[in-house]
Amino acid sequence: MDSASPAWLLAECIAGNEAAIETLIRQHEAGVFRLALSIVGDPADAHEITQETFIAALRALPSYQERKSFKAWLYVIALNMGRSHLRKRKFLEKLKAASTSLFRLDSLKQTSPEESVIHNEKEAAIWNELNKLDERHRIVLILRYFQNLSIAEISEILDIHEGTVHSRLHTGRERLRISLQELHGE
């Protein structure tokens, strides 16, 4: 099947032929990975982008028109996925830096040394446990409770449905609550 004509292979992929899909991926996977790696510079992220590229391409394959070569069309998708990943990474880095700065400013407003120590210990414990959460749950908690953003704003920023924001908030709060209880032996 590796030597099949490109048009036939694409038609078979659209029809759902798993062997054709596997062949198509095998033919282009290394090139897409190299492109992704050159964009993001991290092999793990490049693997993720490669997978996302093929998922997006296979979903969009019925709308593919042969104005561009398939490879060029696929690389445009990979390039867009890589750019999107970089934008999200940059946003998350800025968010983390801003949150850390705000956290430090809040902790400077304490009145007594005893209150300051207690407050700092509590906040350090919360941040420590918060940082143990996976990124998707941690980010929604930070945006909601440290940035005071609405569900709609979080949905727009992260490009996810509001229901997904609610779900991640619930799960994140529950995981944080459990980890803090375990930390304090409750």
Q: Is the dihedral of CA 162, 165, 166, 167 positive or negative?
A: positive
Q: What is the DSSP letter of 145?
A: I
Q: What is the DSSP letter of 4?
A: S
Domain 110-183 has CATH 3.30.300.30: no
Query: Per-residue DSSP letters for 51-118?
Result: HHHHHHHHHHGGG--TTS-HHHHHHHHHHHHHHHHHHHHHHHHHHHHHHHHHHHHHHHT--SHHHHHH
pLDDT at residue 55, rounded to an integer: 94
Rounded Cα–Cα distance for residues 95 and 116 (Å): 25
The pTM (predicted TM-score) of the whole model is 0.51
Domain boundaries, given as residue ranges, for the chain:
6-85, 110-183
Within the chain, which residues score under 70 in pLDDT?
1-4, 98-120, 184-186
pLDDT at residue 147, rounded to an integer: 73
Residue with tokens 């779900």: 167
Domains 6-85 and 110-183 share a fold: no
Tokens of 166: 């609610």
Q: What is the DSSP letter of 184?
A: T
Rounded Cα–Cα distance for residues 71 and 82 (Å): 16
Domain 6-85 has CATH 1.10.1740.10: yes
pLDDT at residue 114, rounded to an integer: 66
Rounded Cα–Cα distance for residues 10 and 13 (Å): 5
pLDDT at residue 106, rounded to an integer: 54
